[in-house]
Amino acid sequence: MEVKKVDNKKYLIVFFSAGILEMGSTFYISVVSDKNYLGMLFFAFIGPFLGLPFVGYMVDSKTWKERLKLALCSGFGYLIGSLITIIFFEILK
């Protein structure tokens, strides 16, 4: 009987990717509200690439337990990304 090795790196990748995606989308909203057209074009271009690192893991998950773990990592990543963005905007005030 062969024991399947669990790759826990994917949960870290999902966590960090979600945080980066949240920061990018928040900055996109900021440049839209400032009517910064060059910034809008920049974030419109890089937006799809920000989610690439974790899209494959989300699609490849086979069990509901794994999907739940990935959703939790994603949720905490978005949360930390939001907190980092809030702190960044507060520093810029």
**Token pair recorded at residue 15:** 């966590």
4 pLDDT exceeds 80? no
The Cα 53–Cα 40 span in angstroms is 22
Residue 8 phi, psi (nearest 5): -80, -10
Number of domains comprising the chain: 1
Largest CA distance in the chain: 61
More confident residue, 69 or 54: 69
26 pLDDT exceeds 80? yes
In a domain, 28, yes or no: yes
In a domain, 2, yes or no: no
pLDDT, tens digit (0-9, with 9 covering 90-100), for 35-50: 999 999 998 899 888 8
3 pLDDT exceeds 60? no
Q: What is the mean pLDDT of the chain?
A: 88
The Cα 15–Cα 9 span in angstroms is 10
Range of the domain at 35: 12-46+62-92
